[in-house]
Chains A and B, each alone.
Chain A
Amino acid sequence: MIRVHDLGHGRAGDKGDTSNISVIAYDAHGWALLREHLTEARVMQAFAHLARGPVTRYELPRLMALNFVIEGALGGGVTRSLAQDAHGKSLSSLMMTIELPVDGATRG
Chain B
Amino acid sequence: MAAAGTIRIGAGSSFADDRIEPAVELAEHGALDWLVFECLAERTVARENQTRRKDPDRGYTPRLLDRLGAVLPACLRGDVRIVSNMGAAHPQAAARLVRRHARETGLGEVSCATLLGDDVTELVRARPGLPLMESGEPVESLLPRMVSANAYLGADAVCRALATGARVVLTGRVADPSLFLAPMMHAYGWRDDDWPRLAAGTLVGHLLECGAQVCGGCFGEPGVKDVPDLARLGFPFADVDAAGGFSVSKLARAGGRVDRATVLEQLLYELHDPAAYVTPDCVLDVTEVELRELGPDRVGLSGARGRPRTDTYKVTVGYDDGYIGIGEVSFAGINAVPRARWAAEVVQQRLADRGLRYSETRVDLIGLSSLHGAGEGRPEPYEVRMRLACRASDRGAAEAVGFETRAMHVNGPGGAGGGADPVVREVLAVKSLLLPRALVDPHVRVETA
Residues of A that sit less than 8 Å from B by CB = 5, 9-11, 13-18, 20, 22, 24, 49-50, 56, 58, 60, 62-63, 65, 67, 69, 75, 77-80, 82-85, 89-91, 93-94
Would you call B382 an interface residue if the criterion is a C-beta within 8 Å of the partner chain's C-beta atoms? no
A-B contact pairs, 28 of them (CB 8 A): A9-B225, A9-B265, A11-B268, A13-B271, A14-B270, A16-B431, A16-B432, A20-B268, A20-B271, A22-B265, A22-B269, A58-B275, A60-B287, A62-B288, A62-B290, A65-B268, A67-B271, A67-B272, A75-B362, A77-B134, A79-B430, A82-B360, A82-B362, A83-B364, A84-B366, A89-B218, A90-B372, A93-B371
Interface string of B369-410 (1 = CB under 8 A from A): 011111100000000000101110000000000000000000
Contacting A at CB under 8 A, from B245-297, are 261, 264-275, 286-291
Supposing A11-B218, A62-B290 touch, asked if A24 and B432 sit within 8 A by C-beta, the answer is no
**CB atoms of A58 and B134 under 8 A apart:** no
13 A-B pairs besides A11-B268, A65-B268, A84-B364 with CB distance below 8 A are A11-B266, A22-B269, A49-B373, A50-B372, A62-B288, A67-B271, A67-B272, A79-B42, A79-B428, A80-B427, A83-B370, A83-B389, A84-B370
Query: Which residues of the partner chain B approach A82 to less than 8 Å between Cβ atoms?
Result: 324, 360-362, 389-391
The 7 A-B pairs of least Cβ separation, nearest first, read A13-B270, A22-B268, A82-B389, A82-B362, A80-B429, A11-B265, A90-B371
Minimum CB–CB distance from A3 to chain B (whole Å) comes to 12
**CB atoms of A84 and B387 under 8 A apart:** yes
Query: Which residues of the partner chain A approach B273 to less than 8 Å between Cβ atoms?
Result: 58, 69
Query: Which residues of the partner chain B approach A24 to less than 8 Å between Cβ atoms?
Result: 261, 264-265, 268
A5 to B266, CA, bound (A): 18
Query: Which residues of the partner chain B approach A58 to less than 8 Å between Cβ atoms?
Result: 272-275
Minimum CB–CB distance from A105 to chain B (whole Å) comes to 20
A75 to B42, CA, bound (A): 16
A43 to B51, CA, bound (A): 42
Minimum CB–CB distance from A88 to chain B (whole Å) comes to 9
**CB atoms of A20 and B270 under 8 A apart:** yes
A78 to B428, CA, bound (A): 10
**CB atoms of B261 and A9 under 8 A apart:** yes
**CB atoms of A67 and B427 under 8 A apart:** no
Query: Which residues of the partner chain B approach A17 to less than 8 Å between Cβ atoms?
Result: 134
Minimum CB–CB distance from A38 to chain B (whole Å) comes to 14
Query: Which residues of the partner chain B approach A63 to less than 8 Å between Cβ atoms?
Result: 264, 267, 289, 291
Supposing A9-B261, A15-B270, A65-B264 touch, asked if A85 and B430 sit within 8 A by C-beta, the answer is no
Minimum CB–CB distance from A71 to chain B (whole Å) comes to 10
Query: Which residues of the partner chain A approach B188 to less than 8 Å between Cβ atoms?
Result: none
Q: Looking across the interface, which residue of chain A has its beta carbon closest to that of B46?
A: A79
Which residue of the partner chain, among A18, A20, A49, contacts B374 with CB atoms under 8 Å? A49
Minimum CB–CB distance from A81 to chain B (whole Å) comes to 9
Which residue of the partner chain, among A5, A62, A85, contacts B287 with CB atoms under 8 Å? A62
Q: Looking across the interface, which residue of chain B has its beta carbon closest to that of A89?
A: B218
Minimum CB–CB distance from B145 to chain A (whole Å) comes to 12
Query: Which residues of the partner chain B approach A85 to less than 8 Å between Cβ atoms?
Result: 370-371
Minimum CB–CB distance from A19 to chain B (whole Å) comes to 10
A18 to B366, CA, bound (A): 23
Query: Which residues of the partner chain A approach B362 to less than 8 Å between Cβ atoms?
Result: 75, 82-83
A16 to B43, CA, bound (A): 11
Query: Which residues of the partner chain B approach A13 to less than 8 Å between Cβ atoms?
Result: 269-271
A14 to B43, CA, bound (A): 13
**CB atoms of A15 and B272 under 8 A apart:** yes
Minimum CB–CB distance from B230 to chain A (whole Å) comes to 16
Q: Looking across the interface, which residue of chain A has its beta carbon closest to that of B218?
A: A11
A60 to B273, CA, bound (A): 10
**CB atoms of B268 and A67 under 8 A apart:** yes
A5 to B265, CA, bound (A): 14
Would you call B321 an interface residue if the criterion is a C-beta within 8 Å of the partner chain's C-beta atoms? yes
Interface string of B43-72 (1 = CB under 8 A from A): 100000000000000000000000000000
Minimum CB–CB distance from A94 to chain B (whole Å) comes to 5
**CB atoms of A79 and B43 under 8 A apart:** yes
Query: Which residues of the partner chain A approach B429 to less than 8 Å between Cβ atoms?
Result: 77, 79-80
Query: Which residues of the partner chain B approach A10 to less than 8 Å between Cβ atoms?
Result: 265, 268
A17 to B135, CA, bound (A): 11
A83 to B401, CA, bound (A): 15
